[in-house]
Amino acid sequence: MIRFEQVSKRYPDGTWAVNDLSFQVAEGELVTLVGPSGCGKTTTMKMVNRLIEPTDGRILLDGADISTVDPVELRRRIGYVIQQVGLFPHKTVLDNTATVPHLLGWRRSQARARAAELLELVGLDPGTHGDRYPDQLSGGQRQRVGVARALAADPPVLLMDEPFGAVDPLVREHLQNEFLKLQETVRKTVLFVTHDIEEAVRLGDRMAVYGHGRIEQLDAPAKILGAP
């Protein structure tokens, strides 16, 4: 479903952030990208939704080279969640979540109904939390809204870049559990960046261990941990 073919990225200052990367992620699979900071995880991720263009190689989504896919279509097919989810501060939680369906041309009432559904899916009560503003939410709740919003267009692919990185460990564990449950329901193809090895083991169907712009190991967490 997502396929990297000999992908490299060199930044203008000469840094080779990603070097000759080839791997693929199956439909409905969750692959965690783990490794020390600066080893190319975020660069890998951002090349999938074309926030960054590779210097060499190509990336295929369902067999199509992403450089040939219309950017609007690409955005519809790929949800993106980052560490500090940027919510519109002057919109309520419900309206923040309804933004994407609304942009996709849904009527306002339909978009809001869809938003309420999505909030429930991520463990927020639309009645209690829907009318609040982002600054009236905890960090964990804001990240949940971010996940809800990323799911709004029902994209087959989710890119998650340290989505639970900024919340305290207990909340993080809670969010991880909820995300695993959610994934059982929605079955997205997921690339999930984390520098927390426990998180990578817990969530990943497979785990890609990065070092210096390359994937050094890619396998089920149990196999990697059990390896001599």
Binding site for ligand ADP (CB under 6 A): 8, 11, 13, 15-17, 19-20, 35, 37-43, 56
Least distance in angstroms from the C-beta of 99 to ligand ADP: 27
Least distance in angstroms from the C-beta of 210 to ligand ADP: 6
Least distance in angstroms from the C-beta of 73 to ligand ADP: 25
Between 13 and 70, CB nearer to ligand ADP? 13
Place of tokens 């199956």: 26
Between 174 and 214, CB nearer to ligand ADP? 214
Between 15 and 67, CB nearer to ligand ADP? 15
Least distance in angstroms from the C-beta of 169 to ligand ADP: 21
Q: What is the DSSP track for the chain?
A: -EEEEEEEEE-TTS-EEEEEEEEEE-TT-EEEEE-STTSSHHHHHHHHTTSS--SEEEEEETTEEGGGS-HHHHHHHEEEEESS----TTS-HHHHHHHHHHHTT--HHHHHHHHHHHHHHTT--HHHHTTS-GGGS-HHHHHHHHHHHHTTT--SEEEEESTTTTS-HHHHHHHHHHHHHHHHHH--EEEEEES-HHHHHHH-SEEEEEETTEEEEEE-HHHHHH--
How do strand 214-219 and strand 206-211 relate by DSSP bridges?
antiparallel
Between 46 and 188, CB nearer to ligand ADP? 46
Between 42 and 97, CB nearer to ligand ADP? 42
Least distance in angstroms from the C-beta of 29 to ligand ADP: 20
Least distance in angstroms from the C-beta of 42 to ligand ADP: 3
Between 14 and 63, CB nearer to ligand ADP? 14
